[in-house]
Structure 1
Amino acid sequence: MSKVLKVIEVLSESSESYEDAIKNAVESTAKSVRHIRSVYINEQSATVKDGKVDKFRVNVKLTFEVDV
């Protein structure tokens, strides 16, 4: 049987780190999407407040297997 994979784009942020923002994206999406297989970091950015990095933001693509 062949597998069907789908890719979705997710945005996430964290006040801690890029790594934490990526984990948040995967863990939050996993609550409603099953069989996540990989994450591709598409873009990283940050917001600045009072001269310091305030939020770490990521734009990721998640690949998951579709039930057929």
Structure 2
Amino acid sequence: MGLAEVKNNFSRVTAEVNRTGRPVTVLKNNKPWVIIQPVSNSQSSLDVAVDFMDEYSDVFEKLAK
């Protein structure tokens, strides 16, 4: 799915991913860029949030300044 289409239909795309359980690969310039996928049942919301915060801690530090 192209980036522009995902941007324009983000809620619909994420709802479909959640409903079907199938990930969607987002293309940028016709090349795979990111994958939108549902959170696995083995991960809690807290685990996902902690992983996200860890992954982007440098960004949050910059924004806090």
* TM-score for both structures, normalised by structure 2: 0.25
Larger fraction in strand: 1
Larger fraction in helix: 2
Higher relative contact order (Cα pairs below 8 Å, separated by 6+ residues) = 1
* TM-score for both structures, normalised by structure 1: 0.25
